[in-house]
Chain A
Amino acid sequence: MLLEINPLVLPDPGLVIWSTLAFLILLFVLGKFAWKPIMKAIGEREQGINDAIASAEKVKAEMAQLQNDNERLLAAAREERTQILNEAKAMKDKIIGEAKEQAKVEAAKIMADTHQAIENQKMAAIIDLKNQVGNLVIEVSEKVIRRELSNKAEQEKFIGDLTNDIKLN
């Protein structure tokens, strides 16, 4: 009974039927020809944007990776260079050391050889001297023997003189 108070709040059955019809037509036509393609297109675009963002993200990550790799390579190259330099230095030092060592050995050898030679020369000289001394002795002895060993004092003096004469270097 409440609804009979005012025509404003009394739903008109004719209008209800027309509204239902209008709404159903709208729902059907728009559902088929508008909402479906629109929602699909919007969905596809969103998907596309998402994909684009994802791929951009991926490329960015790849770029970062690449840069990382580059840096790593650079660092490795630097390291290698340092290592090579160090090795070269070590090699140089080693070579120099070896050369020095060799030189030392060589020098020592030369010295030893020289010593040997000097010794040999010395020995030869001594032998020569001995021989000369022997000859001188023989000569002196000859002279002594020749002067007739009459005077003993004189003999001794003579020997002394002779001895004085013979100076070993």
Chain B
Amino acid sequence: MEKIPEIAFYIYFFMGSNSYLCANFQGLMSKKSIKSLLVAAFSLFILFFCNISTAQDHSENHGEEKFDVTKTILEHIRDDHSWHLWGHTSLPLPVILKTDKGFEVFSSSRLSGEHHEPVVYNGNYPYKSIEGKIKVVNADGTIDEATSKKIFDLSVTKNVASMFLTVFLLIIIFVGVANAYKKTGVTSAPKGFQSFIEPIILFVRDEIGKPYLGHKHARYMPFLLTVFFFIWINNLLGLVPFFPGAANVSGNIAFTMTLALFTFIIVNVKGNGDYWKHIFWMPGLPVAMKIFLAPIELLGVFIKPISLMIRLFANITAGHILVMSLICLIFIFKSVAASAIAVPFAVFIYAIEFLVAFLQAFIFTMLSALYIGMAIEEHHHGDAH
């Protein structure tokens, strides 16, 4: 936990505008700081609930089961090997492991016991699910880190399942819309779902594709549209608080990293001579400045996709944490009265999250287009820089 400030600094560095995220990110790191954060953020009504709070704290010390806010929130935003349905019921998902003894496939139901508690499953190794990750455990129940590092987890986790649900949904929706175009022809006005989708496609084309990619936009439209809708639908599904939503796909750094990686590959593969020249030998500047700028520009090549990755991950995760934190207030205060404040706030944040879901999909796509546009742009000689 001593590295929290460092993480916070990185988040500040990349996020800039999303101040609420930074606060939350820190809150996530330790259960003590989440309380202090909440006190800071909602001091107004904390003051109001002051008496209840102290009273509850007093009784909490003598309570049998201590409510762990951080654990609860983390459980909700992290990936898992089963998909929680209701109560103690979960949808089991296939666990696929690659070990030095070969591949191994088993149901995730083997990893949880009767009361949803993690149990040891004896495959090639004795496995146990620790905080959503498959670990190899020793006979005495301790984690065998060395062997755990050797297994490669290719499981269809909650996020993977949710992602493929999104893929399925997107294919159904857009192939359906495409067929509507084929059926009704191009002369008639769009109908039904087609009329809902078309303005968004046009928005992506006219607000993202055309301004940043110019006359070459048609070539990159499939990528931009796919990225946009993939992120957006994942964001929206992530906001659904129960099955088949509730998976935090676009708030998972592996997912955002993958998408950022695609942008990174396209930018650097499609980047023309001018693009590389502007990185290594910036024209129109004194030689000393050129040498000085080259490493900075080179770093920028990597920082751009990293910023894409962190922006989406952090925004979506922050939104989830924020909603969860507000709901958790009720459990922290152990008072129904807290819900009078917490629920409206949570609903308010939820409404904002719907905006953020669209906004982040838009920003990711727009910045991808911007980076690609910068890489494929043809500079005219004598440009001022």
Contact = CB atoms under 8 A, between A and B. Distances in A.
Interface string A13-51: 111111110110111011101111111011011001000
Contacts of A6: 7, 28-29
Contact of A27 (B223, B252, B254): B223
A78 B302 CA distance: 81
Interface in B193-248: 198, 201-202, 205, 218, 221-223, 225-226, 229-230
Nearest to A37: B178
A11 B253 contact: yes
Nearest to B163: A22
Contacts of A41: 178, 181-182, 186
Nearest to A3: B253
B163 to A, nearest CB: 5
Interface residues of A, number: 37
A2 B77 contact: no
A5 interface: yes
B133 interface: yes
A2 B148 CA distance: 20
A20 B258 contact: yes
Interface string B158-193: 011001101100110011011001100011000000
B178 A38 contact: yes
A10 interface: yes
Classify the interface of chain B: helix, strand, loop or mixed.
helix
Best-surrounded residue of B74, B132, B159, B222 (most CB of chain A within 10 A) = B222
B317 A8 contact: yes
Contacts of B174: 30, 33-35, 38
A14 B155 contact: yes
Contacts of B181: 37-38, 41-42
B182 A37 contact: yes
A35 B205 CA distance: 11
B186 A14 contact: no
B163 A34 contact: no
B279 interface: no
Interface in B118-136: 131-133
Among B131, B226, B262, chain A packs the most CB atoms within 10 A around the CB of: B226
**Among A5, A7, A35, A38, residue most surrounded by chain B Cβ atoms (within 10 Å):** A38
A153 interface: no
B94 to A, nearest CB: 12
A12 interface: yes
Given A25-B167, A35-B221, A38-B177, A14 B77 contact: no
Contacts of A8: 28, 74, 77-78, 253, 317
Contacts of B156: 18
Interface in B13-41: 28-29
15 contacts: A2-B6, A8-B28, A8-B77, A14-B160, A15-B254, A18-B156, A23-B258, A23-B259, A25-B167, A29-B175, A30-B225, A35-B222, A36-B178, A44-B186, A48-B186
Given A9-B253, A35-B226, 16 more contacts: A8-B253, A11-B254, A12-B254, A17-B154, A22-B163, A23-B259, A26-B167, A35-B178, A35-B221, A36-B178, A38-B174, A38-B177, A39-B205, A41-B178, A41-B186, A42-B186
Interface of A: 2, 5-20, 22-23, 25-27, 29-31, 33-39, 41-42, 44-45, 48
